[in-house]
Amino acid sequence: MKNSKKEDNLDMTSGNLFKKILIFALPIMISALLHLFYNAADLIICGQFGSDNSVAAISNTGSLINLIVELFIGLSVGTNVLMTRAYTLKDKNRAQRILNTSVIFSIITGIIVGLFGFFMSGIFLKWMKTPSDVIDLSTSYLKIYFLGLPFQLLYNFGAACQRSCGDTKKPFYILALSGLFNVGFNILFVVGFNMDVKGVAIATVISQIISGLLIILLLIKGNSLYKLRLKQLKISGEALKNITRIGIPAGVQSSVFAIANVLIQSSVNSLGTIVMDADGAASSIEGFVYVCMNAIAQACLVFVSANYAVGNKENVKKSILYSTIQCFIFSFVVGGLIILFGKQLLGLYTDNPESIKIGYIRLTILVSTYFLCGILDVFSFSIRGIGYSLLPMIVTAFGCCVYRVIWVFTVFRVEKLHTNLTLSLCYPISWLMTTTVHLITLIILFKRIKFEQLEIK
């Protein structure tokens, strides 16, 4: 049993950090890739066996889901940072309060946001100028999707607790299992029962329920630092204050990204269903590059938090440097494969030659520059890991959100530039600007901060 614990829980403050960051990130990465694969399976199954507009209908909901959900998922970053510090300093009482508060908070917010999303879905889609031949399907998908939100948030907060204690494998196993159920029910509902997008949405909700229940069972089993006891669940005001202090700026940052993306999706919608199909398919494929780098950024957050807690400045620097190098590697390897086989991959989503052509242009532009987005996340998460959550939110809000909004209302409005190519170009430009500012911020913080062992507050 001792060997098993050593294998599952990494020491994040000593040893070969490059190797440990990679070991920590890989299960998160594979989990995210599986999740993307399952989402891609949704689109592929609907594209092959559903109605003509089912792919466009599901793709159209992505940015809206992110806008509503990401604020609350971002709050799990607060749980991540605080639990990492508690684990590093072996503070069992504080870890228990963080766990209890996170579980209750995720359930309550999941119910509130789920109900809000369910009743507002149709209105939001109209505001996004969703085409009339797609809006009914999109509304049906969204309404069902939001019913599973409490379980989705429960999994995210529970997984954050586990990963903060160095265990990334068990959350991965849970997500892999629930994803297999998702694909199985997709085939059953769409191919077997001809339920189209409703079948995909129901399969998604079932998989969310499975992952939420399994993470609860894992937390009840517990570890050396905490154990979930349902009869003793209560919110700690101190823990909630600190979770929201760190988590709200992280959630707002994700939400402002989503606001800009909703605006861009509305602009895509104005270009017609063919472009919507192309954009949705390309976006799904691009995600395979992004989640690889985001997993490394999540690992960086945990390692920076742990080493900052014990006052190890050199290891904080190494964590950032090694994570940046790994982002480069995964971006070029995975991105290169996607560009090489991009047209064939797009062909899995749609058989329309025009959609494939448009999608491949976007795919090439974004995938070849996605390393900028990965490094942006590494720098942003690092700043958050040393306790400055508001700074990266402000920088990202202006560098990505405000800039993209200005781009849509100026450059995109020029008649000759009113194309999907123009929309695609705003992403790498905003990544480069924001990454540069984050780097400058990090350099300034390292000159000002005193690195000494923390007393958790």
Region 171-193 average pLDDT:
88
Region 364-373 average pLDDT:
92
Distance CA 129, CA 357 (A): 24
Average pLDDT, the chain: 85
56 or 84: whose pLDDT is higher?
84
Query: Is 50 exceeded by the pLDDT of residue 5?
Result: no
271 or 183: whose pLDDT is higher?
183
Distance CA 45, CA 406 (A): 37
Region 138-154 average pLDDT:
92
- Give the model's confidence band at 31: pLDDT under 50 very low, under 70 low, under 90 confident, else very high: confident
Tokens of 35: 């999740």
Region 138-142 average pLDDT:
90
Which pLDDT belongs to residue 355?
84
- Give the model's confidence band at 124: pLDDT under 50 very low, under 70 low, under 90 confident, else very high: confident
Distance CA 265, CA 423 (A): 10
Distance CA 448, CA 206 (A): 49
Query: Is 90 exceeded by the pLDDT of residue 209?
Result: yes
User: What ranges do the domains of the chain cover?
Assistant: 15-448
Query: Is 50 exceeded by the pLDDT of residue 4?
Result: no
- Give the model's confidence band at 455: pLDDT under 50 very low, under 70 low, under 90 confident, else very high: low
Query: Is 90 exceeded by the pLDDT of residue 447?
Result: no
Region 54-66 average pLDDT:
75
- Give the model's confidence band at 3: pLDDT under 50 very low, under 70 low, under 90 confident, else very high: very low
Percent over 90 (pLDDT), the chain? 33
58 or 379: whose pLDDT is higher?
379
Out of 87-101, 112-126, 229-243, 443-457, least confident range: 443-457
Highest mean pLDDT among 99-113, 161-175, 245-259, 405-419: 99-113
Distance CA 293, CA 79 (A): 21
Contact 300, 383 (CB under 8 A): no
Helix axes 313-340, 353-367, angle to 10 degrees: 150
Burial class (CB in 10 A: 0-12, 13-18, 19+), 132: exposed
Region 244-255 average pLDDT:
80
Distance CA 11, CA 13 (A): 6
Contact 230, 169 (CB under 8 A): no
Helix axes 273-309, 54-74, angle to 10 degrees: 20
Which pLDDT belongs to residue 8?
54
Query: Is 50 exceeded by the pLDDT of residue 163?
Result: yes
Query: Is 50 exceeded by the pLDDT of residue 428?
Result: yes
Tokens of 448: 């000002």
Distance CA 59, CA 47 (A): 11
